[in-house]
Structure 1
């Protein structure tokens, strides 16, 4: 791409991580986020953007006017809304890279809006958590323009692989993986907390260690609890998109719906301040103990018959 100028839509964890990785590339980088327009929330993200050398734009139209590569990194439920907001303003010939965790059907509807505006839509399936990898988080690209964009992203330091020219393949891969990963997170939270109540956590985890010896189940459990406590709302939104993916395959998403509910529940505990003072990197037992203490006296009196 000639005269590469990058516009980030969404300046949360993913947007900030990518902006930090892109900065050494010496290309203009701008950002826009709904929080920029909110007097109650804008001071911190605007200050962060300024400190990182990111131009905070005053609206999506301003960002689109300057960027040749737009990167959408918002919550799953806003995937289509962002495409609808961008479509009237995106410059013809620009590329719209959609990092959001959405179903193939949602990505296809977003692509139709961007392509109708004369720009080029490329889907991305982000295949693992962003923070450990930063800008080099593994991504699968999809769509008619994916192969042309891949070397541009590689030059910026991204770990992107073309999955298919067919739109939806990358997203389907991501969504099907999320059934397993987000499901495992939900299962660990439910299993570990219940085992903690009954006093069998050490014995239970020992059996997991024996069956799956390559996983440190205490360490992995702590990571799962902390990530869901921090990002449960976002993960629940992703799982509702996963449910759409399952429905698009002709099945009832029993598991995806239950996983979304569990993540939403954990997000509610966080909003209620249940984990507020746990400090950095708490063990899973600290989360479980807070959940157990919050149940009330009736639950605490339950025993195995």
Structure 2
């Protein structure tokens, strides 16, 4: 199988490396390659994971069986529109960007009549381990099997459009919402010099969890990526509103994330 990645910085190389290791021919194109100062670094990154470095979008997509978009949420639709006329007739377009169900459908419309599958990574790449990937839309079960054979932990969330991105955003309500609780609790604990006491009481609540490491990791992520988390929580709130559900927690968590990072306010606990 020939696989082309559009966007190749963080997630792309990890997924590509797994596919190369399982026999796929992988190409990659990133906008950075159009800058002579960055093209060399992009070529080296491709070489490190066994992917062919493409100097243009057309070169990457030429004859590809599967096209994987791992760009940014803001660029997902534009990239799909740019790619559409360059896709081989039988190519499938897999959008892996963190966008809303409506955003995914817009991407699918942009690449029609080519096959389209919605994809989301349910977590981050940690210690070289790929996160679980959920797919949805007609044909997603078949593509989950094909991707699993190429080293992905892929599963179809259903043939219905929107199933995978909805599951992703609902997960974010939990994960990002809990991070917002950590920010609020530890800001209060820090103000009263009660961080060690709070960590001890949390250990009594769930003793199996390494609370100092867990809290340090998540508050560190908020400090670094607070605004991006806030934007995702706003997407969660918008989706829940469309479902007719309460958005009290998601909306407030988005406010906390926007204020918490990247600033010292969400610094890691001292103990």
TM value normalised by structure 2: 0.87
Measure, in 2, the Cα distance between the counterparts of 1:81 and 1:253: 30
- 1:167 is aligned to 2:151: no
- 1:215 is aligned to 2:209: yes
Q: Using the TM superposition, give the Cα deviation of residue 68 of structure 1 relative to its aligned residue in structure 2, in angstroms.
A: 1.3
Question: Are the equivalent residues in 1 in contact too, given 2:8–2:70 (CA < 8 A)?
Answer: yes
Question: Are the equivalent residues in 2 in contact too, given 1:176–1:242 (CA < 8 A)?
Answer: yes
- 1:124 is aligned to 2:119: yes
Deviation readout 1:194-230 (Å, 9 max, x if unpaired) = 3122101122222222223332221111111233344
Question: Are the equivalent residues in 2 in contact too, given 1:64–1:91 (CA < 8 A)?
Answer: yes
SS of the aligned residue for 1:284 comes to coil
Structure 1 residues 154 and 217: alpha-carbon distance in aligned structure 2, compared to 1, 3 A threshold: same
Q: Using the TM superposition, give the Cα deviation of residue 88 of structure 1 relative to its aligned residue in structure 2, in angstroms.
A: 2.4
Deviation readout 1:98-129 (Å, 9 max, x if unpaired) = 22222111111211222x2x311111232222
More moved, 137-146 vs 35-44: 35-44
Measure, in 2, the Cα distance between the counterparts of 1:155 and 1:26: 9
For 1:192-271, list aligned pairs within 5 A.
Answer: 192-250=186-244, 253-269=247-263
Deviation readout 1:157-203 (Å, 9 max, x if unpaired) = 11111111111011111111101101222321332233122101122
- 1:285 is aligned to 2:269: yes
SS of the aligned residue for 1:164 comes to coil
Deviation readout 1:259-298 (Å, 9 max, x if unpaired) = 34444445543xxxx7xxxxxxxx9336x9xxxxxxxxxx
Tell me, which stretches of 5 or more residues in structure 1 are unaligned? 275-282, 289-305
More moved, 143-152 vs 57-66: 57-66
CA RMSD of aligned residues (A): 2.7
SS of the aligned residue for 1:97 comes to strand
Q: Using the TM superposition, give the Cα deviation of residue 22 of structure 1 relative to its aligned residue in structure 2, in angstroms.
A: 2.0
Structure 1 residues 254 and 37: alpha-carbon distance in aligned structure 2, compared to 1, 3 A threshold: farther
TM value normalised by structure 1: 0.78
Equivalenced residue count is 270
Structure 1 residues 236 and 37: alpha-carbon distance in aligned structure 2, compared to 1, 3 A threshold: farther
